[in-house]
Amino acid sequence: MTIDANAVAEGLLATVPFARTIGTRFTEITVDADGVRAVATLPDDHATHNHVGGPHAGAMFTLAETASGAIVLAAFGDQLHRATPLAVRAEIAYKKLAMGEVSATATLSRPPADVVSELDAGLRPEFEVNIVITDAAGVTTGEMTIVWTLRPHR
Instruction: Report pLDDT for 1.
Output: 56
Binning pLDDT at 50, 70 and 90, where does residue 137 land?
very high
Domain that holds residue 57: 5-152
Specify the CATH number for the domain of residue 83: 3.10.129.10
pLDDT mean over 40-54: 95
- Quote the CA–CA distance of 78 and 70 in Å, as a whole number: 13
How many domains is the chain partitioned into structurally? Answer: 1
pLDDT digits (tens, 9 = 90+) for 57-66: 999 999 999 9
Q: CA of 5: how far to CAs of 1, 27, 39, in Å? A: 12, 9, 11
pLDDT mean over 138-147: 98
Binning pLDDT at 50, 70 and 90, where does residue 2 land?
low
Backbone angles phi, psi at 106, to 5 degrees: -110, 140
pLDDT mean over 1-27: 87
Instruction: Record the pTM.
Output: 0.94
pLDDT mean over 99-121: 96
- Quote the CA–CA distance of 110 and 148 in Å, as a whole number: 12
Spatial contact of 146 and 131, defined as CB atoms under 8 Å apart: yes
The yes-or-no verdict on residue 26 having pLDDT over 60 is yes
pLDDT mean over 30-36: 82
